[in-house]
Structure 1
């Protein structure tokens, strides 16, 4: 690893997650002040170390030579999601209390799903974030299959 925690491995791979955001400063504050991430680089691109991973954020934009015909933009419909962050907590109740006190708005409090305790919140751009704590999974109780599958 180089440059004080910047995600640049000396060998192999390292996983980061890129978010297209409307306001870098607003999103940086959410991921650092509310969720407790460490700001590694303020902008161009904003890079936040969160737990054992990194969130990289930049404003949207049109195609570039390395991604022709691709336009980046934040979500436009919070009811439709194709991917989301999945954060695993050691103590979901404490995480829910702490982040709520810092301004996070959860869709629901943690709900016992049998395999895990789980709740969701959104970041300032509407990205969905799942916060879960393994409970039943640690004892062989797993999630039900998705609706409509057998």
Structure 2
């Protein structure tokens, strides 16, 4: 095998132009956003109904504050995860797809962080109301650690471990 053949067979990555790469990355990002959008929209929808239930009036001031913060976080997460769609629509055809992909990726990461906060706050509120036990913050902290491991720790470890230098 010649050096050129060996180099071609061991080379990693795709042979694509910057525009082709941006198109591929955009398609992948939109698929990822669909999953997160579905989750945040369902959670946000349920959160919006809580205030209209008779039980809401019986919540302590602390629990009502947690609820309000959770709803605001859910609204922010929804905005960040829908933002890339609006971004794409407004800049489409302007020949700036690589820049749009970068900004959409940033919005998506922000949306995931806000979804993490929304989900954690929702869990805190639900467990506080359901159990009234002192262990709830520790349980929620454990779940947050699990989310951090699944959503960020493992992907970052994989990126570090398997990215060529």
TM-score, normalisation: structure 1: 0.26
- Greater share of strand residues, 1 or 2? 1
Point out which structure has higher relative CO (alpha carbons under 8 A, 6+ apart).
Answer: 2
Q: Which has the larger radius of gyration?
A: 2
Greater helix share, structure number: 2
Query: What TM-score comes out, normalization by structure 2 length?
Result: 0.25
